[in-house]
Every structure is written in structure tokens, then in C-alpha cells.
Copies of this chain bind each other. A is one copy, B any other.
Amino acid sequence: MLSVREQAERTSRAYRDFLRSGSTRLKNDILAEIAAGLEGGAGAVLEANRQDIDAAKTSGLSPAMIDRLALDEKSVRGMAAACREIASFADPVGRVDGMTVRPQGFRVGRMAVPIGVIGIVYEARPNVTIEAAALCLKAGNGTVLRGGTAAYRSNAALVRIVRDAVAAKGADPDLVSYIESTDRDAVNELVRQDAFIHLIIPRGGESLIRSVTEHSRIPVLKHYKGVCHVYVHERADLDMAASITVNAKVQRPAVCNAAEKLLVDRAVAPVFLPRIIPLLRERGVEIRGCERTRAIVPEGVKPAAEADWTEEYLGLILAVKVVDGLDEAVRHINGHSSAHTDAIVTADVRAADRFVRETDSASVMVNASTRLADGGVYGLGAEIGISTDRLHARGPMGLAELTTYKWVVLGDGHLRE
């Protein structure tokens, strides 16, 4: 078995070759070949997955974890369809932005180019293997994958299909590599290969992300938790506020862009809270309120603890707080949200404008549900995740966010005077 360093070095070399050979046509041909390989090789993938699931059951993994691990014919067909869809998107590489002529007469602009080699560290879901490899490839990057131990047979089978497809089209299969070692140290080793890897994207729970960030010598783009707020301003349309709150909380409560907190201006709290709280409770939402909330709606509202203002429930719980106005709402959000997505409901244009400018989050919304924070909904095409970091990419990340740029200078013998 190759060492982590050797694998990273090989992928780095394959990436450099691909800089030369990786035309749009070749990339799309490889993606089509992966799709065909998945359809033709579904049997082997499902057999490997069955072995992973047997082992997971034996080792007592939770049913929820096993559920995330499980593949079937339909999910493999879904992966193939995703590859074909990614092939259909415009190539994010090569576009030149802002080419200008400088006073000296030369031209300068910024060209979109691959980031380089991207390390993806993830947990049980095997479909991440295909999605991440396909998106990184479309953007011209090399990829070093390291999935969860419980899925290593499934992942190995999937990566074999990817590498065979890369080789079948004449490129170096090391463009995509998979760290097969199930040793936890392999991840720590991976995140120190700063000579060969340019970006690490961890996808998984808080402990995975913390551990990667702690050990990494390579820049890390975190996909962290979503503690999202809906703030109902005193000049909100209360019907709209109710429908946005319900949608943001219950439409899909287990995901990072679901609302976890509701802030309500004290001027409208006596009218709005007695309406929204029963509506949410009917849908099975547990309400945890501040003192002022409980004074207005005493029934069925549990007292909120300090930790409720920062916790990501990922379930049918909502913490509710009455605030004095926009200033307190913004201060509270900037102090307690995870800076993922926060929304105001208001009919007042100045309040909307101030909320947009002053709220320090990756997505800031006016009169819209936090659930809209999504690469597909924003029009990015594919989405590799939602960054909660501030640099390079913030919020939903699409193919363009898997590229960087270089400066291109076109002269005619221009010198520095």
C-alpha cells in the first residue's frame, strides 16, 4: 500500500499533467465514462456496500449511521445521473474576468484556473465519493479522498470506477486517489501534505472538522453548523412572517439551513407570538422561549437556557426571543448565530437595508426563508457544500468556488520603468 505522502505526490503530478491535457471535452468524456462505469459496475458496488453494512451491523453501528451508509440500485443510478449533469454544466476554468488595458498599453486580467489538489475528508455517506470527485474533476483539480472507515469497501469500489474511467480516457488515474488506510492517523498525515495538497474540505460532524482544523497545515474550508435566525421586525407583514417561520423551521428540520431561532420585536410580539406558537406546536415543534415570550404565551413554552441561543438542534425545536428592535436583533445574531444564514421579515426598506449591511453572515435574507440558502436555489448548478468560512468561498459553493484565478499579462515587450 502506498503511503499517504506518496499518494498525495502522485495526485499532484497527475494534476499538473491534467493542467495541460484536461480540456473541457476530456473532462466531460471522463464524467460520461464514470456514469457508464457506475451503471455497468453497480453489482460490484452494491456487493461491497453489503459487506460494509454487514460489518457495521456486527460492530454495532447505529441504525441511523447504517441508513446513511446504505446504497441501492436507485442511489447508484442517482450518482451516474449526477455525473452526467455535472458534465452538462459550463466549464468553470479558463474564463477571463476584467481584462483591462493599462496606461502603459499592456493588458491584464484574471483567469479562472483549478485550485490544484483538493483533499476531501468525509464520513459515512459513499455518494460523497462520486459527487466530490466529479465536481473537483470538472473544475480541473486533482482529488485525494478519505471517507469514513465504515464505508471503505463501498468507497474503494466507487473510486475504482472513477480511476478506470480516467485511465480509459487516457489521463493519469492518480488524478483521483483514495486513502484506503482505516487508521485515524492517515487523516492527520493527509492534512500535513502541504507540498502536494492545496485545500482540505472536511465534510462531517463537528469533531471531524475540529480535528482536521487543529492538525492541518493546509487551508481548510469548513462546512460547519447552521444556527439560523428568522427575525420578525415590527414592520413585518405578519402573515408572511408566519409562513416564512414555519417553512424555515419545519420544511426540512434536519439540515443546516433550517431556522433554529426566532427573534420577534417587542412591538409585535403580543400579536405575533400567540399566532405563530400554536401554529408551530401543531406541527410538532417544541418551543423554548425567553422570559418575555413566556409572559405573552405562558402555555406550552419551555424556558430557554443560555445554551439554547447557540445550539443547532437539527430537529423540531425552536428557541424564541423577544427583542427591543433592530439593534438588539443584529447584535444578538452577530453574537450567537453561526454566520450561516439569517433572515429579516420587514416591510421597511431602511430596516431591510441595515439588516443586510450589519448582519455578519454568509447569507443574509430579506422576506425569504433561510431554507433557500442552497447552491441549486441560488443558481450555482452543482453544490459541493455550504462554507461557513469567510475566506475564498462563503455560503453555497458551486463549481466556480472550486477554482481560483491567475493574473494574465499580455504585453508587447513591456518593461518596468
| Chain A residues within CB distance 8 Å of chain B | 16, 19-20, 94, 100, 102, 104, 106, 108, 111, 113, 115-116, 194, 198-199, 213-214, 217, 219-220, 237, 240, 243-244, 247, 251-252, 330-331, 334, 343, 352, 354, 356-358, 360-369, 371-374, 377-379, 389-392, 394-396, 404-416
Pairwise interchain contact B407-A368, C-beta atoms closer than 8 A: no
Pairwise interchain contact B243-A366, C-beta atoms closer than 8 A: no
- Pick from B357, B364, B392, B409: contact of A391, CB below 8 A: B392
Identical chains bound together, number: 2
Nearest CB of chain B from residue A22's CB, rounded to whole Å = 10
Task: Give 12 A-B contacts (CB < 8 Å), ordered by A residue.
Answer: A100-B379, A102-B377, A244-B415, A364-B407, A366-B410, A367-B412, A368-B414, A369-B415, A372-B414, A374-B416, A394-B406, A395-B407
Pairwise interchain contact A413-B214, C-beta atoms closer than 8 A: no
Pairwise interchain contact B16-A413, C-beta atoms closer than 8 A: no
Q: Is the interface of A mostly helix, strand, loop or mixed?
A: mixed
Pairwise interchain contact B415-A115, C-beta atoms closer than 8 A: no
Which residues does chain B contribute within 8 Å of A244, judged by CB atoms?
413, 415
Nearest CB of chain B from residue A375's CB, rounded to whole Å = 10
**Do A20 and B358 contact each other (CB < 8 Å), given the known contacts A116-B390, A372-B414, A379-B102?**
yes
Which residues does chain B contribute within 8 Å of A113, judged by CB atoms?
360
Pairwise interchain contact A407-B391, C-beta atoms closer than 8 A: no
Nearest CB of chain B from residue A338's CB, rounded to whole Å = 13
